[in-house]
Every structure is written in C-alpha cells, then in structure tokens.
Amino acid sequence: MNSASLVRRLTVVLMALTIMSHSAKLAMAQRIPPSPFQTQIPLGEFPPNVTWINTSGPIKLKDLRGKFVLLDFWTYCCINCMHILPELKKLEEKYPNELVVIGVHTAKFENEKDDQNIREAILRYRIEHPVINDHRYLLWNSFRVSSWPTILLIDPEGNAVYMRGGEFQFEEIDALMQKALAHYRARKLIDTTPIRFELLMDSQEPTPLSFPGKVLAVPEIDRLFIADSNHNRIVVSDMNGKLIDIIGSGQYGDQNGGFDQASFKHPQGMVYHNGELFIADTEGHSIRKADIANQRVSTVAGTGQQTRNPWPGYDPRRGRVTRKRVWNGNIRTTPLGSPWDLWIHDETLFIAMAGPHQIWSMKLDSKLIGPYAGNGREDIVDGPLMPSAPYAEDASSFAQPSGLTSDGQWLYVADSEGSSIRAVPLNPRQEVRTVVGTSHLPQARLFTFGDQDGSATNARLQHPLGVAYLDGKIYVADTYNNKIRVVNAETGDTSSLVGTGEPGKSDSPAQFDEPGGLSIAAGKLYVADTNNHAIRIIELNNGNRVSTLSIQGLKPPATPDHSPEEYFADAVVEDAAAQTVAAADNKIRFQVTLKLPDGYKMNSLAPVRYLVSAGSNQSLFPAALTKTIRKKETASDTFALEVPARTNGAETIQLMMNYFYCQDGSEGLCRTGSVRWKLALTVDPAASESVVQLSHTVPELFDAGGLENLQK
C-alpha cells in the first residue's frame, strides 16, 4: 500500500472515530435532562455578622453543596408569610435529604428584630429549619428583595437559580424540584446524606397552655373559653380558673365529633351564642362550632382550603359579579382565609378575615358568606364598606384585621399590620373610619408605628391583635409594645393602662409578652398573654391590679405514641460477634465507638437517642427500661451506656443508636446517622470482661462523581 493510500485510510478511520466520539458525547448529553433554570448566579457565603436561630451555630453555604437550599424571606407578623409555612413544610417532608430550607427573618416592626421574639415565633409556628435574623437587611438588600414573603432557590453547586415573591403553593415548587433533581442527579451532584439541626422545640418543656391566642369571658354561664392555640384545643374553665372541660384532642387537624375526638389547626377568636361556641380555626381556614350541651364539634363554614379569591360571587373569567347577592358564596363551598376573630350582632356572625384583609359576615340562619367591608387591598383607608368592583379603590381598606369587639353600633377592629383601630358601621349606609391610627397619612401607612400615647392622629401602636369594648372605651392588646392601652371610642385619645413595654411575666410591675386577645367581664379584663403561655387578669375596679390565672388540673395534651423502632428505621445493620460479660451491680455496660470520616466530629449539643432491646422473653433486662434519651457532654466519638440487668443468662439483643456529627469548626449543620447492632450476649458473673464492646465505621459522605469537586 503506498503512502497516499495509507494516509487516506488513516484519515477515514480518524473521521469515523471523531464521529463516534461526538455521537457518544451527544448520547451522554441526551441522557442528562435539561436544567429548568435560565440563570445561574454564583453566590458567596452568608454574612458573618448575623444571628443564627433554631440551629446550634452558623451554617456555611459551602457545607450545603450537593443540596438545594431554599431561602425564605419572612417576618413573623405577616399573614402571607404564615400562609406559606405549611407549603414549606410539605417540601421539607417530601425532600428531607435533598432540600434545606433556611428562613431569613427580615423584620418589619421594631419588636420583630429581637432574637428572643423570633425564637418565640419559631416555636409558635413550629418551624423546623434554621432561621437567620437579618435585622440589618444584609441579605434582603444583597438579593434586592422587596416584599414578604420572597423565596430564593440555590442549586447544589451554590448558584442562585430561581426567585419569586408572594405566596405559592406546594405543587408549584414541587414540579420545579422534580425537573431540577432529574438534571442534577444525572450529573451526580446530589448529596442525600441526612442532616439535622438543633431545633428550639427539642429543648422546650411542655406547659399547660401553649401560645394562647384569644380568651372569651362569658359571665352569664360563669365560663372562660381559652384558645390554647398551639395545643390545637379550647380550654374551658369557670371565671376563677376551675377546669371544666377541654374541647379538642390536642391533635393538629380538622376532625369533627365529640370534644375528645375533634381537632383544630391553631384556633384563635371565639364568640358564644345560644349555647354554642363559634371558633375561628385560623390555620384550618374554617369556622367551627362547639355545641356545649351535646359536646360535639362541627364545621360551620369553609372548605379547609385557603381562599385564592376573596370574592365568592365574582367570576374573574367574565370580569363581573355573577350573583344577585353580589359578593356572597355558599358556606360549604367557599374557601376562607385565616379567620382570626369573631363577633355576633343581631344573628349575624362577623369575621376578621386576616388573609384577604377584609371583614366578612354570614347570617346564622343563612347558607351564604362573603365580605362585608374592605376592598381586599392591604392598606389603612377609610370610606364605603365595599368597592364597586374587586380591589377597586373607591372603598375602605384593611391590613390583616385580627381582633373584633362592638358597642352595638360599630364593630371595632384591631387592624394589626397598620397598627390602627378601625370602626366598621353595623349600619351599612355608613362608612368605615379610623379611631386611632395612620389612615390620615399620605403614605407609609403600614410602616408608621410606635409606642406613644396621645390624640387619635398622634398616638402610635405597634401591631395590636386584640380589642374589648366597655363604657365608651376600647381596651387594646398593643401586642408588640407588650402593653394594654385604652382608646376613647369617640375621640381616639389613647393612653397606656398597664405594662412596662418590656417583655416579661411580672404581675407587679405589670409585664406582658406579646398579648394577643382580650375579654371583659364583671370588672375584670382577661388577657391572653401569648408568649407567656398564660391568662392574665386586670382588675379594672381595683387600681388595675394584675394577676395570673391558675387553671387547676390543666395539663398539656398527650403526645401520640410512637414505636421506638421508628427512630431507627434507616439504621445501618452491624452483626457483632457474640460476647460474654459480667454484669457488675446488676448493670450491663456498653462501650460504643463511632469511627467518623476525617474532618468530622460528634456534635456536643445534639441529643443522642439509643434503644437496647432483647428477644421476646426479656430475660436480661426489663422492657420498660430499654429506651433512654441522653445528652452528650463532650464531642467524643466513644459512648458509655448502661442498662439495668434483670438476671444472668443468654439472649439475642439489639442496640440501636442515632448520632449527629459535624465538620470541624462548625456545629450549625449536623449530618445524621443511625446504626443497629445485633449480637448474642451472655451475662456470666465469672466472665473476665465487664463491658460489651461495639464499633461502627461511619461511611464516607459522598459517592464517586461530581460531589468531591463541589466540596473543594
């Protein structure tokens, strides 16, 4: 073969190899689903001078490589922020090892900048992810956030890839996550190692009441009804605190039935009428009713879903009202939006509908429900009750109404986000007016607040949640000022009644911690002192003396029983060699060694849960003593455990353990593991060994692929 022919042959071969190589690359590329993100912006680290809450220390973004990170910009007063917390929880439950949610709390009100107040809000909302206190707006400004809530999604490589403001539903982000995971999994960039945070709720002792939101005194039947909001129940006592009954099992839910079976979702305001207690089941987006005589709970209105259209009689497709009763819908099919408080006047139930920023109403003998006042815009604007069209500016506006009371002519409203007290006419021909607050301001009506007594236009409140009327005076739970104020219903003149302004639980001098609800009876003002988990009493006829109500015999609801093995469901199984030990002092002692990857240590702050169980006859130790929860005092990876021994003998046993470990220099982010040892154990007094030795090598964190490079 001549040289020219050889060159031609080699050229053809090289071309074929090039085509094959290109085809292989194309096939590989085709096997990787496309990314759903248009933009990828590399991010630096979190600011070093912010406070981390709901975790044991600061977290570095680089330590979260391999996982999606969702930043939730929120502030704890915001009803829209509250609405997305259940959606975030759904995402956390579906993607426990692929997604990390981090709250970025950027305060609106001065009171919300305080670390302790944010801690209380985290507990009240049962948040199970870390939260940054961004009170100096460092993250807010760096990402140019402009509204609450806003979410920002960061991909496993540390890039900002998706951002949106406003409320969202789980299904929207779930669909995005599924597409994104398909892309990043194909590139081997997903780290599914379980991680854990040191949550505030893990260290809380149970209290008889938990964040009570509202209280209702009914002197004609000598009853006090307490919305034990975080226990999802209504506590019933007499006016002196003698426990009479409990409405609700304490479980989070929407079940109807007997008092011991019914469940609620963070109930708030209540009103009593003809032997029935109407309840604003706030997070359940419904109105419930408790028949006191028959001890049964039923649903009066609402579907259990949050309304996305606060105009039941309006068809947005046609752009017009479709019913003769222009704004109303059926009580069974109309969704509600975070009902917060209730009032009944002349057989009409009025509802402070915090979600859509309106006052709703329904006749007790009717099947219709709908808005009574408010155009649905979040603002503090006086004017006619209802607009000419949805959201039209020719009517009154409210901002998260949260408390109701009345003098029989006017419905007085604690309009919390505008730090104002409003008056809604029960005569529909009259107009909404502001008793004290910010409606007179040309701008910044929702951002003007403070702690100041004075005239209607000069006085300043800070996020009031509760009101109660008596003899021409409106008593106000000035929530974020930790005070009880008094407002002249006619002039709006405002003065402080009790409270130093500093959070506390002292009766003298009187201190409160974000009081949320008020009710007056027999010369006494009852206060739901929310963050103090207490009901306080102000004796209006005795120098405003303050005391704390004691409810004899009240206990927290029982927690659901769980099988101990549920905590160790994903444990790595280790088959240990048979061992014989002596049980000194009738105790079996174990020494457990966990061999961690390089650069990691045990978290000294995280609880370690372990369980020792035997076979069916429990010959070595009693079953009642097999489960223990301990708190390690050091970061050592060697544990000394012991359980009481019942007798000598042989038994097949298991020791199960959950553990948490962190990178050196950080305890804010913990990875979690679980191991289950199985071994044949004999207890013999003559044995030379006195300790059962067990060890486990914690596996390397990442599979071969792209993750090693991500960590560099």
Are residues 13 and 77 both part of a single domain?
no
Q: Which one of 496, 526, 546 terminates a domain? A: 496
Q: Is residue 123 part of a domain?
A: yes
Question: Residue 485, Cα to own-chain centre: how many angstroms?
Answer: 29
The backbone torsions φ and ψ at residue 124, rounded to the nearest 5 degrees and listed phi first, read: -65, -40
Q: Is residue 545 part of a domain?
A: no
Are residues 290 and 352 both part of a single domain?
yes
Are residues 189 and 289 both part of a single domain?
no
Q: Which one of 203, 234, 259 terminates a domain? A: 203
Q: Which residues pair with 276 in a beta bridge?
A: 273, 291
The DSSP secondary structure of 555-582, one letter per residue, reads -PPPPPP--GGGGGTTPEEEEPPPEEE-
Instruction: Please tell me the distance from the alpha carbon of residue 672 to that of residue 685, in angstroms, as a whole number.
Output: 37
Q: What pLDDT does residue 92 have?
A: 97
Model's pTM, two decimal places?
0.86
The DSSP secondary structure of 246-312, one letter per residue, reads EES-S-BS---EETTT--BSSEEEEEEETTEEEEEETTTTEEEEEETTTTEEEEEE--SSBPS-S-T
Are residues 422 and 489 both part of a single domain?
yes
Q: Which residues pair with 195 in a beta bridge?
A: 671
Q: What region does 131 belong to: left with phi over 0, alpha with psi -120 to 50, or beta?
A: beta
pLDDT block averages, 10 residues each, the chain of length 712: 45 44 47 92 93 92 94 97 97 96 97 97 97 96 95 97 96 97 95 87 91 98 98 97 97 97 98 98 98 98 92 66 66 96 98 98 96 97 95 96 98 98 97 97 96 97 98 98 98 98 97 98 97 98 97 90 64 87 85 86 73 66 49 66 77 83 71 86 88 86 46 45
Q: What's the token pair of residue 387?
A: 């607009």
CB 44 within 8 A of CB 124: no
Q: Is residue 143 part of a domain?
A: yes
Instruction: Please tell me the distance from the alpha carbon of residue 449 to that of residue 467, in angstroms, as a whole number.
Output: 17
Q: Is residue 536 part of a domain?
A: no
Are residues 67 and 8 both part of a single domain?
no
Q: Is residue 145 part of a domain?
A: yes
Are residues 140 and 233 both part of a single domain?
no
CB neighbourhood size of 566 (10 A): 7
Q: What's the token pair of residue 666?
A: 């950080």
Domain of residue 329, CATH code: 2.120.10.30
SS (H, E, C) 585-609: HHEEEEEEEEECCCCEEECCCCEEE
Task: Tell me the three state secondary structure of residue 377.
Answer: coil
Are residues 57 and 23 both part of a single domain?
no
Q: What pLDDT does residue 430 have?
A: 98
Alpha-helical regions (H) of 53-169:
79-94, 115-124, 138-142
Which H or E run contains 711? helix 707-711
Instruction: Please tell me the distance from the alpha carbon of residue 3 to that of residue 1, in angstroms, as a whole number.
Output: 7
CB 109 within 8 A of CB 127: no
Task: Tell me the three state secondary structure of residue 177.
Answer: helix
Are residues 616 and 647 both part of a single domain?
yes
Are residues 63 and 186 both part of a single domain?
yes
Q: What sign does the CA torsion over 73, 76, 79, 83 have?
A: positive
Q: Is residue 297 part of a domain?
A: yes
Token pair 């390397």 in the structure block, residue: 700
Are residues 380 and 492 both part of a single domain?
yes
Q: What pLDDT does residue 661 have?
A: 81
Are residues 630 and 689 both part of a single domain?
yes
Domain of residue 98, CATH code: 3.40.30.10
Q: What pLDDT does residue 607 have?
A: 67
Q: Is residue 210 part of a domain?
A: no
Q: Which one of 496, 524, 539 terminates a domain? A: 496
Domain containing 590 equals 564-710
Instruction: Please tell me the distance from the alpha carbon of residue 103 to that of residue 112, in angstroms, as a whole number.
Output: 14
Q: Kindly report, residue by residue over 250-278, the tens digit of the pLDDT.
A: 999 999 999 999 999 999 999 999 999 99
Exposed e or buried b per residue across 490-507, where buried means at least 16 C-beta atoms within 10 angstroms of its C-beta: eebbbebbbbeeebeeee
Q: What pLDDT does residue 357 have?
A: 98
Domain of residue 669, CATH code: 2.60.40
Number of structural domains in the chain: 4
Are residues 428 and 313 both part of a single domain?
yes
CB 320 within 8 A of CB 375: no
Q: What sign does the CA torsion over 568, 569, 571, 575 have?
A: positive
Q: Is residue 667 part of a domain?
A: yes
